[in-house]
Amino acid sequence: MNLVIQSAAPLAAEHTRPLTALARGAQAESIDAYALRIADADPKQSDDIAIYCDTHQLDAAWIAPQRLSDYGLLAMDMDSTLITIECIDEIADFCGVKAQVAAITEASMRGEISDFSESLTRRVALLKGLDAAALEHVFTERLALSPGAASMLEQARAAGLKTLLVSGGFTFFTERLQQQLGLDYARANTLEIVDGKLARFVQETCAALGMPTTRAIALGDGSNDLKMMAVAGLSVAFRAKPVVRAAADVAFNYVGLDGLPRLFV
């Protein structure tokens, strides 16, 4: 396995020797100023590597040698993954109920509310009477891409991947982001969420492209993304809840989305 170590700040050279020794790797090479690849690392050392990386706020990814172009689809959750905000929480701010809505959002993302449709219904009910202009205010004034998103998309396109934005939220935002970023596909719901629907979005898009879901990469942060991530060939948890980090192939806790292209040779 390759072990890819990444840092949000330039990676100090002093980490190379102890990490290579801990991983029992053959050799280490610099990917760029922020990342290091250790070849032939031993996955049995993952616990020790995790302790070291958590101590120094580094991200570690165990991944078989492969190219980004081996994949054909990059599927991305929207809220708190491709973008920094939870749209529904920011909409709620205009109604004076952000704290109540955010509490439900957090409980849902942690998996404490197992029925995502229930959590969405409860949150939307708090938005009754909202002026539709608030949606435009959220998009223009509060919505921002997550760190590294633009670079990740650029490199994914260069490698030939199609891009899919999925959301259990509102088409108002996914449609505008699709146009703004030039994404190939965007799928969302206005209100209705059916269990596992995000996974079906990925499956349907892969089928339309004539490829298996094993050639999809899925990025997510909350428990509602788990089924989507499970059908993908590579799942990446981005600044995610513990239940999602535990289930994902790779977790980015510190670096931006530009950490994804660095995983590949």
**Whole-number Å distance between alpha carbons of 116 and 113:** 7
Bridge partners of residue 188, in order along the sequence: 167
- Secondary structure, 3-state, 19-45: HHHHHCCCEEEEEECCEEEEECCCHHH
Exactly one of 79, 89, 221, 225 is catalytic; name it.
79
Closest CA to 258 of 143, 155, 152: 152
**Distance (Å, rounded) from C-alpha 235 to C-alpha 162?**
16
Residue of 181, 186, 219 lying closest to 201 (CA atoms) = 186
> Is 204 within 8 Å of 185 (Cβ atoms)?
no
Q: Of residues 40, 54, 59, 77, which has the active-site annotation?
A: 77
DSSP state letter for 130: -
Query: How far is CA 69 from each of CA 96, 198, 215, rounded to the nearest angstrom?
Result: 46, 23, 9
Is 77 annotated in the active site? yes
In sequence order, what are the residues at sequence separation of 6 or more whose Cβ sits closer than 8 angstroms to the Cβ of residue 28? 16, 19, 20, 36, 37, 38, 39
Surface-to-core class of residue 129, CB atoms within 10 Å of its CB (0-12 exposed, 13-18 middle, 19+ buried): exposed
Helices marked H in 81-195:
87-93, 98-109, 116-125, 133-137, 149-158, 171-181
Instruction: Let me know: does 46 contact 62? Beta carbons within 8 Å.
Output: yes
Annotated catalytic residues are 77, 79
